[in-house]
Structure 1
């Protein structure tokens, strides 16, 4: 059973590879965009990551600008991001930023709003 889980993967087709935005464009869209533009940006980031580019340099921007949002669709994309983002540094130790991620998940689980708690 363990070998089956180790060999599973996802494929996401990206129509046009020339549409891949630069890192600074993604950061700007996360910092200054509305929730709708952040949703589009998160979808693009997830597509790029599932196609093989881990993008570890975006973790702190996503924590700062996406995690505080109350938008339900954006939160769902955030949790998809948490599943595929690199959690370990080059030495194999847990990244310091993951403490902030765990705190954000804990706050969502203790939220007064039942829709935030239940997702």
Structure 2
């Protein structure tokens, strides 16, 4: 993700009640391969290209920190400064749907809802 410019879609994932069944659906429909990600007492999945095992999307259970998320593809947009983007979200009538969460040791994200009701994630990568 580090080479993506600010404003780019850097990831997308789908959160559903039964990620096991849904990952099989997309594996058959699109041709992705499922790579299990241990979440403690269950597994989420990164879906990979069969040609090179590159992760392209995630399919997650609506559990833990994903509980309550709508069943839709969630886009992660890269931002320059997460705090500034959060302030702009609130100032312009958006809502924060999650706390700021860490991704790895250098990145953070938050899930927001825009004034029209659309949901996305803002992703800041610090290198």
Q: What's the TM-score bracket when you normalise by the shorter of the two chains?
A: under 0.3
TM-score, normalising length: structure 2: 0.20
Query: Which structure's residues are more often strand, by fraction?
Result: 2
Higher relative contact order (CA 8 A, sep 6+): 2
